[in-house]
Amino acid sequence: MNTPNPTDHPDLTDAAAHAGAAHLIEQSLGHLYSAALRTAALHHIADHLAGGPRTAAELARLTGTDPVFLRRCLRYLASREVFREDDHGAFHLTPAAQFLRTKVPGSLRDAVLLLTDDLFVRSSGALDDTIRTGTPGFPQVFGAPFFEYLKGDRRSRELFDAGMAAFSEPMDDLVAGAYPFPEQGTVVDVGGGRGGLLRQVLLRHPGLSGVLFDQAPALEDHVLDAPGLAGRWRAEPGDFFASVPDGGDVYVLKHVLHDWEDEAAVRILSACRRGLAPGGRVLVVDSVPEPGNGAHPGKALDVAMMTLVTGKERGPRELDELFSQAGLRRTRILPTPTFASIVEAVEA
């Protein structure tokens, strides 16, 4: 065993080192930030501030909370630019806090409630075991694989569906506008959940028709009953590991492949390739982290996937390997205004 040489390390007493130490301690308390966000979402703080600033005492009366403790929580969030406290002790909405409001376009409240729920928190607490064993922590904590658990727990399934819809809704129109969909043909939204992306694609392209393909429970709350879409879509339940609806000109997989290990992802892609109409395309919409040390939302999502399921966020080379095994070939990667990219593939 080699003993570290103290001379190999920088001076830990200088100002720069102390700044690094302070940063490390703050990041170690990151779980408290998630808890504070969840608390604000649960008590509808942003909704209570929609009409103007209020003090912690006023908010406490509205929410049935303790004013002193509530202020301490909100002061912490304000230090992260979620809410702002003025010189009179009143809290204001910030651009970030606007997304905690309910029933407003782009609301992320349900997404915050999902990402800060025990489903995620307890699984991340088992990260050490995940790293050691190479298996997700979720089954260790909850006794069943993630998606099997959701099937048997209605509260968790409803939370997941609502959270994923909120997570996806702000990006659906941006993704739909970032890709040159054909003016005619059929778009198959594979594992499309409520169909938010398909809805935006069809609204932008009146000549297209669409198929929303997912498990039956996910289709029950679809959002395709919109003016202008009548007669242009159908919802079809099924299992994308076995087959997908045939004859699609574009197959879209948004936030699907990252849920699954490579073998399962190849099966899904292979099913899409078999269904392709001549000249058709497969679109993978996921976070695509690039190599290097730069910050990227996909790197945090990748760790979340590691704790929950057997999937991961894949870079270009990893996606190319999947495409090759499924009989596909990547043609391009298109950025979007969101954290996700659109990876296009055609039959090899």
Q: What residues are annotated to the active site? A: 258
Query: CB-side exposure of 168: number of CA atoms within 13 Å?
Result: 25
Question: What's CA 59's distance to the chain center, in Å?
Answer: 30
> What is the C-alpha separation between 243 and 205, in angstroms, rounded?
26
* Angle between the N-to-C axes of helices 67-78 and 30-42, in degrees from 0 to 180, rounded to the nearest 10: 120
Residues whose CB falls within 8 Å of the CB of residue 30, separated by 6 or more in sequence, listed in order: none
